Amino acid sequence: MNDVQIVEMYRNRNEQAIQATMEQYQRYLMKIAMQILGDEQDAEECVNDTYQAAWNSIPEKNPENLSAYLGKIVRQEAIDRLRERQRLKRQGTEYAASLEELSEVVAGGRTPEQEADTAFLKAAVERFLKTLPGDARVLFLGRYFYFDSLKETAAYCGMSESKAKSMLLRTRRKLKKFLKKEGFDL
């Protein structure tokens, strides 16, 4: 069954849509959730919430890319869940490590004046990503969207870990420069 058929089932309120989604995407979603949460039971709950969220949202939304759509949902669900636990830095998960790395791009502390609208920031990040060559973009998103480990990201990008690390460093520096230029208060 392909994505179009699955989305159509959601739109028709056919409950088999969830089963079809599970069959197609359970492993993919579990992996993202696990990278963030580092706990199988939490990850499973998170993935189940993702199915529910898809069920609730798809009549209104019509995702063209179902896997990415689900990936975004599970990512946010997992991050929210992790925040709830309030032990982010102690988790030792890839999310925590990714966050640590990104902390060099922006300074800590958040005042109302400094708080940029996430929508503007999201748009700026998109513009930035479009300036990157394909390998750097895939590396960046693999690491900071999917929270894949550096080793794994390097592996599927076909480069050594040290090169991946170095490329990520350069990309983060470029992002910092780009966001400053765009007027974000870092």
Q: What are the φ/ψ torsions at residue 184 (nearest 5 degrees)?
A: -80, 140
Buried-state track 168-181, b at ≥16 Cβ within 10 A, e below 16: beebbebbbebbee
Among 22, 53, 97, 121, binds another protein (CB under 8 A): 121
Instruction: Determine the longest span between alpha carbons in the chain, in angstroms.
Output: 49
Cβ proximity to another protein: between 53 and 141 the closer is 141
Residue 119 to residue 130: CA distance in whole angstroms: 17
Among 13, 85, 87, 122, binds another protein (CB under 8 A): 122
- In angstroms, what is the minimal distance from the CB of 125 to another protein? 5
Residue 171 to residue 179: CA distance in whole angstroms: 12
Does position 177 interact with another protein (CB under 8 A)? The reply is yes
- In angstroms, what is the minimal distance from the CB of 142 to another protein? 6
Q: What sign does the CA torsion over 30, 39, 43, 122 have?
A: negative
Which position has the token pair 């199988």? 40
How many residues touch another protein under the rule CB under 8 A: the total is: 70
- In angstroms, what is the minimal distance from the CB of 40 to another protein? 16
Q: Which of residues 61-120 bind another protein (CB under 8 A)?
A: 63-69, 71-72, 75-76, 79, 98-99, 102-103, 105-110, 114-116, 118-119
Residue 58 to residue 51: CA distance in whole angstroms: 10
- CB atoms under 10 Å from CB of 138, counted, come to 14
Among 17, 46, 146, 150, binds another protein (CB under 8 A): 146
Does position 11 interact with another protein (CB under 8 A)? The reply is no
Site for another protein, rule CB under 8 A: 2-4, 24-25, 27-28, 31, 63-69, 71-72, 75-76, 79, 98-99, 102-103, 105-110, 114-116, 118-119, 121-122, 124-126, 129-130, 133-138, 141-142, 144-146, 148, 152, 155-160, 163, 167, 170, 173-174, 177, 184-186
